[in-house]
Amino acid sequence: MDSAGNWNAFLLNKDGSTTSIVPPDSLSPVLGGYVEAIDVNNNDEVLVQYTYYDATTGVTLPGSFVLSHGVYTQIYLPSPQYPIDTSIYPQRISDEGVVVGGYGPGAVYGFVATPVH
């Protein structure tokens, strides 16, 4: 946690250095947030969950993405019928980039996210 109360994530590289995982501007936390590295695969692709407070709506919003060699790919819910504040709980990323997890109140629904190449 930093001095502003934000939770931050990093990747410990094979050479012992660290890489901060900071969502890009389009995903970045507003007025305090939380970023957690959930899993990493053998291709150094990092599965990340984050939340942020949206000052415009007054709602804390959840999200998740995969960070692959500097490229951030947002994970979207499987159907547009769910509101933006539906919780997303990514759990694992395979070496092929497939993500599994849950969503909804209490993660009652499961998902498999297949990368688009």
Q: How confident is the model at residue 15 (pLDDT cuts 50, 70, 90)?
A: very high
116/81: higher pLDDT:
116
Give 108's DSSP letter.
Answer: -
pLDDT of res. 80: 58
E strand or H helix that includes residue 24 = none
Contact 88, 101 (CB under 8 A): yes
On the question of pLDDT at 40 being above 90, the answer is: yes
Q: How confident is the model at residue 100 (pLDDT cuts 50, 70, 90)?
A: very high
Q: What is the pLDDT of residues 86-97, one digit of tens each?
A: 678 899 999 999
Across the range 33-40, mean pLDDT stands at 87
pTM of the model: 0.79
